Structure 1
């Protein structure tokens, strides 16, 4: 536990864990906290992989002439574990909002607090799964930028994964294409056809194609448009200025004149 005894770090927890945990940012806050604990070999205190050792251990040395004596002695590893666990728990408490702190009041270990927060803010249940799936069905691109649309999709996918219901790439692709509008029909059709191939398309590749198509749409939308009426008026003005014959006037080229047996070019 030598590494666990040293809490010297180039970064303080306030530099890494910048969010106060609440119901709306559980996954982000959890990710920040785990990224702080992991390089310090302390993540096991919250996920339960570093278990509490026994408070005592067998006596390994006895006096040569001793007939009776204590068979156990205090375990120093137990003292170290308690100290580390309480420090991690204090860090967790410092990253909570007041309502979240009330939810874990009175708990005695970092692992106990961690599990309680997960149950409260990341409800691992079938009901939560259905809520997220319904949210996915109602997630549409209409009225938003592509970045905003893809960001919400990723949040839903990540939350499903965090509660034990990860989506396959094909399921993610189907969810993405379903929410696109009619203007994306051409790229959607191509991607849907590719989903029948083996192996199927990768979600990240599909995201790249959709973003590229969206960029082209933006280019088309910003290009200056010339209406047929405007084109007609422009051409008519050119002719009226001498680009061609006008009614009863002289030719714009060739210098011909109207008379018997003569026709202007």
Structure 2
């Protein structure tokens, strides 16, 4: 596909759409933002190689026969490609920029970043999933437990692997322990209903149950004291 469209100015500022500087922890989000910026301007093909580089010259038949002259499509392609590459460079963190230093085209830079950071994102995903499986409440307050779960969920979301409400609920219930078995059983049964429970509702229920446990514990501690008075 030739670069037949002339590009003059972007209808949107790149800073309005691409709000992230690419790092090892946010590649998929950065990629989504960048694609959403390029696509409506018909420039996405410069990074995906769908818009191929035209020949530098073209053959023209005239009175003197066939001659070669500069190809205006080539000039347009070079201008657009270098502009897209400059945009990419402007959205990279310093370590990412060092990695693509010296590359000559937007597609070359895009491919190099994908090879590097896609692998990092997948590895990070497995690390966070393992951390979630190992996360338990025992020895911590409910607030501390829920805070760590939220950190894991947010980090998975930031690298492009968001969890559904049911997945979050399953992760929360898995680490509660035997003391919360009664409320966990009720919530697990509700997960088969349509629509299923939302994560915020489950957080409210387990927090309320935890408050009751604290009340019972406090009452048990006070009763012997009152009996001896």
Coarse TM-score class (shorter-chain normalised): 0.5 to 0.7
**How far did 1:54 drift?**
2.4
Q: TM-score, normalised by structure 2?
A: 0.66
Task: Could you tell me which runs of 5 or more consecutive residues in structure 2 were left unpaired when the two chains were aligned.
Answer: none
**How far did 1:68 drift?**
2.5
Q: Which residue of structure 2 lines up, in the alignment, with residue 41 of structure 1?
A: 42
Q: Do 2:7 and 2:80's aligned partners in 1 also have CA atoms closer than 8 Å?
A: yes
Q: Which residue of structure 2 lines up, in the alignment, with residue 135 of structure 1?
A: 131
Q: Which residue of structure 2 lines up, in the alignment, with residue 212 of structure 1?
A: 204
Q: Which residue of structure 1 lines up, in the alignment, with residue 80 of structure 2?
A: 84
Q: Do 1:136 and 1:156's aligned partners in 2 also have CA atoms closer than 8 Å?
A: no
Residues 67/3 of structure 1: CA separation in 2 closer, same or farther (3 Å cut): closer
Q: Do 2:125 and 2:156's aligned partners in 1 also have CA atoms closer than 8 Å?
A: no
Task: Could you tell me which runs of 5 or more consecutive residues in structure 1 were left unpaired when the two chains were aligned.
Answer: 237-265
1:93-121 deviation per Cα after TM superposition (whole angstroms, max 9, x unaligned): 11222221111112222222122122223
**How far did 1:228 drift?**
3.6
Q: How does 1:32-181 map to 2 (within 5 A)?
A: 32-46=33-47, 48=48, 50-55=50-55, 56=57, 59=60, 62=61, 66=63, 68-70=65-67, 74-123=70-119, 130-140=126-136, 142=140, 144=144, 146=146, 149-156=149-156, 159=159, 161=161, 174-181=170-177
Q: TM-score, normalised by structure 1?
A: 0.59
**How far did 1:87 drift?**
0.9
**How far did 1:75 drift?**
4.0
Count how many residue pairs are aligned between Structure 1 and Structure 2.
219
Residue 15 (structure 2) pairs with residue 14 (structure 1) = yes
Higher helix share: 2
SS state at 1:122 partner: helix
Looking at both structures, which has the greater relative contact order when contacts are Cα pairs under 8 Å and sequence separation is at least 6?
2
SS state at 2:119 partner: coil
What is the rounded CA distance, in whole Å, between the counterparts of 2:69 and 2:179 in structure 1? 75
Greater C-alpha radius of gyration: 1
Q: Do 1:19 and 1:95's aligned partners in 2 also have CA atoms closer than 8 Å?
A: yes
Which one of 169, 172, 184 corresponds to residue 188 of structure 1? 184
